Amino acid sequence: MHTYYQQENIAQDSLLEETVERTLPKVRIHGGINFDRELTAFGKNYRHTLEPQLQYLYVPEEDQSNIGLYDTTTLQDDFHGIFRDTSYSGLDRIASANQYTWGITSRLLDDENLEIVRVSLGRIQYLGSRNSNLANEGALIDNDGINDKQSSVAADLFYRVNHQWQVSADIQYNTIEDFTNKGQVNVDYQINKYNLVQLNHRYTRNVSGDSLEQISMLGSFALNKNWAFVGRITQDLQQDRSLESYVGFQYESCCWAVRIAYHRHINSNLDPAQFTLDGREEFDTGISIKFIIKGLDGKQSAIGTQEMFDKSIFGYKRPYYLQN
């Protein structure tokens, strides 16, 4: 009876979600303009762009407390996120809005139209009372230092030093109270198509009441024509402990491949019964072997090591132009 009752509630909630989504109007006006000019610096020719954009978003407020809250959470307000038309993931809630967002991007491109530098800056300005009640039942979401008048300033930076070195970073900075909400820096060194190293640092001021600061290093190397190595390590700087270790080897021939990997990462199961006696989280440790048969679809292209990169808690943030 309990299972049937729960399923019935979920079905009713889904119907209410669809009803709210159909009846809530939304006004979104988003526009921008691109300026560009030719520029000569250090004996080279470049194209410099200036790309301001402006968006207005309005969604009326609606009481949604009669809809269950299952998988909805707030989305990150990085530079690209501030131009979204919703503040929440999932379908359980539709966020009200009466705001405008401004942003500006400047790029420097070389003769081959490759991006050398990109700098972006933007912020949301709230025109009405900001709806910070996720559940509409008194459970306030974490504003993360954002007041009712404006969001934190979101900035994004990319710099291609040369064909091997690239630096990317983003930050959300509270200019009212003078602190950083979130930030990340990536440094990529691509030796060649098959060999690369990445170092990244991430910081988040408030995750369930605690600050989070981590540093990661990963690498991928072709040992010879058939063998490749992938390794990754992530360290928690706040609690001075290892969060994740990964070592994998891949053998690939024309028709088949095999992967052998060892992993040790912190257990993401938050059930207190899974904690160790001293209160520290347990680690999930294991060895995996995977066989891959190539050419079943008529193709025998290289499978590469990208999937091994993705076998990670935090994943691999690859610069968009790196074809590895």
Instruction: Quote the CA–CA distance of 90 and 73 in Å, as a whole number.
Output: 7
Please say if the pLDDT value at position 165 is more than 80. Answer: yes
Please say if the pLDDT value at position 123 is more than 60. Answer: yes
The pLDDT, as a whole number, for residue 136 is 40
Taking a C-beta distance cutoff of 8 angstroms, is the pair 166, 191 a contact?
Answer: no
pLDDT in tens, 222-252: 999 889 999 999 999 988 888 889 999 999 8
Instruction: Quote the CA–CA distance of 112 and 107 in Å, as a whole number.
Output: 14
Per-residue confidence band for 271, with pLDDT thresholds at 50, 70 and 90: low
Structural tokens at position 184: 């990340």
Instruction: Region of 4 please: left (phi>0), alpha (psi -120 to 50) or beta.
Output: alpha
The pLDDT, as a whole number, for residue 160 is 94
pLDDT in tens, 19-68: 444 467 889 999 999 999 999 888 889 999 999 999 999 988 887 778 77
Percent of the chain with pLDDT over 70: 74
Taking a C-beta distance cutoff of 8 angstroms, is the pair 75, 93 a contact?
Answer: no
What H or E segment, with its residue span, contains residue 20? Answer: helix 2-23
The pLDDT, as a whole number, for residue 216 is 92
The pLDDT, as a whole number, for residue 1 is 36
The pLDDT, as a whole number, for residue 61 is 84
Secondary structure (DSSP) of 201-216: EEEEEEETTEEEEEEE
The pLDDT, as a whole number, for residue 172 is 94
Reduced to 3 states (helix: H, G, I; strand: E, B; else coil), residue 99 is strand
Across the chain, mean pLDDT equals 79
The dihedral sign for the CA sequence 288, 289, 293, 294? positive
The pLDDT, as a whole number, for residue 46 is 92
Taking a C-beta distance cutoff of 8 angstroms, is the pair 113, 53 a contact?
Answer: no
E-state strands within the chain? 27-32, 35-41, 44-59, 97-109, 115-126, 153-160, 165-174, 179-192, 195-207, 210-222, 227-236, 241-252, 256-266, 283-293
Return the amino acid letter for 297: D
pLDDT in tens, 98-118: 999 999 999 999 988 899 999
The pLDDT, as a whole number, for residue 53 is 97
Please say if the pLDDT value at position 322 is more than 80. Answer: no
The pLDDT, as a whole number, for residue 71 is 75
Percent of the chain with pLDDT over 90: 37
Residue 185 Cα distances to 155, 157, 166, 241, 258, angstroms = 12, 9, 11, 20, 33
Structural tokens at position 276: 């160790």
